[in-house]
Every structure is written in structure tokens, then in C-alpha cells.
Structure 1
Amino acid sequence: MPAWGDVAGAADRLALSSSPAELHGALCGWLAAGGADVAGWLAPVMADAALPAPQPGDALDRLRVVSAAQLGDPSFGFQLLLPDDERAPQRAEALFAWCRAFLGGFGLAVGDKPLSDEGQEALRDLANLGAAQIDEADDDSDEEALAEIEEYLRMAVLLLHADCAMGEQHRQSLH
């Protein structure tokens, strides 16, 4: 996975107003819903036909390649791109932004694909997290809760990917 700063730098060079978490969330939503894994992913994922394709090998191109590989990893190696910041409020804000962007990318690609009951529940949970607000209380339990939410999101995204983008046999092994 490219580093947060590398993705931020690539986004700045293209004058994108999205954070690395938002770019990764939108891309993962698009891919999880069965959207095309193409080098020119920015335009369809960000719903802006004027956006150029990332340069081969740059951070945004690597983000797509790694994200697609992680979503298809049979050992569930998918990871969210979040800042390295150790402070829970900053990571939580990035996580909530990731969820909002995931929903946007997912909505652009899902079409009329049916979701399992578990997939529908996961999508509702993502929407609830995307609407969440930061509580500025600094507590060690926030770190633990954030780690649990990240782990849940990883599994929810893989479940949605299995529902929409993978074959029936893969869905059965995940459920």
C-alpha cells in the first residue's frame, strides 16, 4: 500500500480535493461493488470525466493495484488507508471520511446487484459510521474501539465485495 503522504502528494499534483482516506474509500467502494479495475479509475470513481488517469507506477496507480489485490486476497489481507497519526480523533475522522467515500464509490458501481442480508447490514453500518461525529474525549478506550471498528470495516468491505464482485463459490466461503 502506498504511504499516506505519497497518496496525498499525488492527489495534490492533480488538484484533487479528496484526502487519501477518501480516495481509497471511493476506490474500494467502486471495486467492491464490481466496478472495473482500470488504470483510468479516477474519472469513473470520482464521477468526473475530466480527471486524468494516474501515471503508471505513481502512488494513485499503486493504490488501485494494491487495493484490487487485497480485495481478492483469499487470506483476507485487505487494509484501509488511514493516517499513521496515533491520535484517535484524527484517525476516527479519516475513518468516517473513508466510509462516506466508500458509499459513494459503491453506489456508482453497484447497479442492481443483489446484496445478501449480511451485505445489506454491512452497508447500513458503513452509512452509520459515515454519519458519525468525533467525540474529542481523549481516552485509551477510544483507541481500542477504533481498532475494533477498523477490523469490522475490513470484514464488511470483503463481504460486500463477495456479494457484488466475486463468484458464488467465493461468497459461500466468506459467509
Structure 2
Amino acid sequence: MPPLQDVESASRSRQLGASASELHGGLCGWLAGGGAQGPEWLAQVLADDGIEAVAEGDVLDRLREASAAQLEDREFGFELLLPAAEASLYERSGALFDWCRGFVGGFGLAAGASPPLSEEGQEALADLVRLSSAAPEEGGDEEDEDALAEIEEYVRVAVLLLHGDCAMGPRHRARLN
């Protein structure tokens, strides 16, 4: 996975208007919803046909490759692209909410209005939608740190569940038929 700062720089240089975390969330939502992995993924995720295709080997291409591999990892090695633990609680929680906002948008674009979700998947998506509209608060204590860690883990597992419902499930069903 490329470092957060490299993805942030790539987003700024392309004038995308999305933070690295939001962009990664959008990409993961797109992939979890069954979206294509071609070089045009960035334009599709951001719903802007004017965005150039991502060149092979570019930092955003490496982001796509790593994200797709992590989502498919049978060891559940999927990680969210968020600021490091040294960043403030405010910055990290804001980035998590941005990540969720990106995910919900990308997922909706790829999966459509009626994705084939399990009951757990429906609940997970509803939770991610709620998180996408949250805003960080200044301050915080050890309890807030623990809560953020739990929310991050929940988001990680929810994404894997949604990916299973919408991307992996249809592929496995197609192989069986």
C-alpha cells in the first residue's frame, strides 16, 4: 500500500478535491460493489469522465492493486488508508469519516440502487452511511481513542462483508453455474 502522503500528493497534483483517505474509501467502495479495476477506475469512482486514466505503476495504480489484493486476502489483511497513530484524534476520526463517505459513494456507484446484500450487509452499509455523515470533535481522551479503534475495526470488517456480498459472491455463483 502506498504511504498516505504519496496518495495525498497524487490527489493534489491531479486536483481531485478528495483527501487520500476519502479517495481510498471511494476506491474500496467501488471494488466492494463490484466495480471494474481498469485504468479508468478513478474517473468512475469520482464520477468525472474528465479525469485521465491512471497510468500503470502510478501511485494511484499501486493503491488500486494493493486495495484489490487486500480485499481478496483470505487472511483478512485489509487495511484502511488513514493517518498514523501519532496524528491527533481529531485528524484520525475526521479521516475515518471521510473514508466512509468515499466508500459509500464508490459503493453506490458500483453496486447500484439494489445491491445483493445479506441482512448483515444491509446493516453494515447502513452503519457506514451513518459514519459517513459524522463529524470529528475536538479533544478526546483514552476512552475516545479506544472507541475510534473499535470503529476502525468495525469498518474494516463491514467492508469485507460488503465485498463478499457484492463482488466475491456473484463471482462464486457464476463459477458454480
TM-score scaled by structure 1?
Answer: 0.92
1:4-83 pair list within 5 angstroms: 4-83=4-83
Give the structure 1 partner of residue 160 of structure 2: 158
Asked if the contact 2:67/2:78 (under 8 Å) is kept, the reply is yes
Aligned residues: 171
Q: In the TM superposition, what is the alpha-carbon distance from 1:86 to its structure 2 partner? A: 2.8
Q: Which runs of 4+ in 1 moved over 2 A?
A: 167-171
Structure 2 distance, partners of 1:79, 1:64, is 13
Structure 2 CA distance, aligned partners of 1:48 and 1:169?
28
Percent identical residues: 59
Amino acid of the structure 1 residue aligned with 2:152 = E
Alpha-carbon distance between aligned partners in 1 of 2:154 and 2:67, rounded to the nearest angstrom: 17
Cα deviation per residue 1:28-84 (whole Å; 9 max; x = unaligned)? 000000001112211111100110112221211111000000000011110000012
- The match for 2:91 is 90
Shift of 1:3: 0.4
The runs of 5 or more residues in structure 2 that have no matched partner are none
- The answer as to whether partners of 2:90 and 2:137 remain within 8 angstroms in 1 is yes
Return the letter of the residue paired with 1:88: L
Q: Please give the alpha-carbon distance, in whole angstroms, between the structure 2 residues aligned to 1:23 and 1:138.
A: 26
CA contact (8 A) 2:34 2:110 kept: yes
Q: Which residue does 1:148 correspond to in 2?
A: 150
Residue segments in structure 1 that go unaligned for 5+ positions in a row: none
How many Å apart are 1:162 and its aligned residue? 0.3
Mapped to 1, the partners of 2:34 and 2:72 lie a distance apart of 12
What whole-Å deviation, never above 9, does each CA across 1:1-24 have from its counterpart, x for those lacking one? 100110011112211111001100
Q: How does 1:86-165 map to 2 (within 5 A)?
A: 86-111=87-112, 112-165=114-167
Cα distance between partner residues in 2 of 1:168 and 1:18: 30
Mapped to 2, the partners of 1:22 and 1:53 lie a distance apart of 19
- Tell me the TM-score normalised to structure 2 length: 0.91
Q: Is the 8 A contact 1:100 1:127 kept in 2?
A: yes
The Cα RMSD (Å) is: 1.6
3-state SS, counterpart of residue 108 of structure 1: helix
